[in-house]
Amino acid sequence: MNAAQQATDITLASKIASAVSLFRTEFPDAKVDLRPWAEDRDTQELVDPDSIDFSFHFPGWSRRWQSRSVLVQIRFYQDAIAVTEDRLFESHRNFIGLEVTGFDYRGKQWRLSTVSDWQFEGDLQPQPEIADKLRQFCRQMFELFS
């Protein structure tokens, strides 16, 4: 779900801002988009309500990145507890990892998932120094959201 919609309290808004800042520290040319998903019905049906999604766009296609845009999805799962008599419903959001995906005009070019093995997948992949910086960003995200 769009990060702009997920920033419902000061704590979460602060963490989203910190995440953007961490990325921009390593990659200052990137421009953030806190609403990467279109608001149309078809797109919204595909969006994971238990994620915080934002993207970064570079001035042009980057050979080092093998992409022009990067989508960052911070993944959570909902742990729900219901109290029957009072009908109180308690929900906890638990951080499980990130998915970072690189896109260009042809579509998805590569993907890095910390939910699985932290390896890049795709026909084109970022150069090793970019890959290392992205993994470092992911480690910092674990510190921020765990």
Mean pLDDT of 111-129: 93
What per-residue confidence (pLDDT) applies to 122? Answer: 94
For the chain, strand residue ranges (E) read 31-33, 51-62, 67-83, 88-104, 107-113, 120-121
| DSSP assignments along 86-115, one per residue | TTEEEEEEEEEEEEEEEEETTEEEEEEETT
Structural tokens at position 66: 């093998």
pLDDT digit string (tens) for 84-105? 565 555 556 788 999 999 999 8
> Percentage of the chain surpassing pLDDT 70?
82
> By the 8 A CB rule, do 30 and 21 touch?
no
